[in-house]
Amino acid sequence: MAKHRYNEHLKNVPLFADLDDHELEVVSRMATELDYDAGKVLLTEGGTAHEMFVVMEGTLEVTRGGEHIADIGPGGFAGEMALLTHSHRNSTVTAKTDTLVLHIDGRGFASVLHEVPEVAVKMLPIIAARAVAMSDDHTH
């Protein structure tokens, strides 16, 4: 895909929608588009964190201890929490449908956050909500 078309493709992802051409170029340099068939496990609970995924098309299913936690559709992302905290995966993420994702490895993720801090700002509310939902001490 030509660079300009690829950047336009990235702009369809809510996480990257407001980025300028330079910022989109940073993301596109760090990301690899990958196709997964339904049923493919992308991240395994307890595993070491090496990457994150941004859903372009399709749906990912998140499970913890074998229990369904959430579905992640286009524009959503998975794997970022363990990368940010340098910890093991707290859930398993599986392609629920045939899925097109952007794969960003740990080093690339750090570069994106450093060079395009707007991405971190957009991720923060989602990450915070996930942390609250996982907290054993959270009460309403």
Segment 10-29 mean pLDDT: 83
Based on the number of CB atoms within 10 Å of its own CB, is 52 exposed (0-12), middle (13-18) or buried (19 or more)?
buried
Q: Is position 77 within any domain?
A: yes
- 67: domain CATH number is 2.60.120.10
What per-residue confidence (pLDDT) applies to 138? 46
Domain encompassing residue 97:
3-134
pLDDT digits (tens, 9 = 90+) for 125-134: 877 777 777 7
Q: Is position 16 within any domain?
A: yes
Q: What is the pLDDT confidence band of residue 140, given thresholds at 50, 70 and 90?
A: very low
pLDDT digits (tens, 9 = 90+) for 48-69: 888 989 898 999 999 999 999 9
Q: Is position 123 within any domain?
A: yes
Are the C-beta atoms of 92 and 42 separated by less than 8 Å?
Answer: no
Q: Is position 140 within any domain?
A: no
Task: Give the residue among 25, 24, 30 at the shortest CA–CA distance from 83.
Answer: 30
Domains in the chain, number? 1
Q: Is position 69 within any domain?
A: yes
Task: Give the residue among 2, 9, 16 at the shortest CA–CA distance from 123.
Answer: 16
Q: Is position 60 within any domain?
A: yes
Q: Is position 49 within any domain?
A: yes
pTM of structure:
0.79
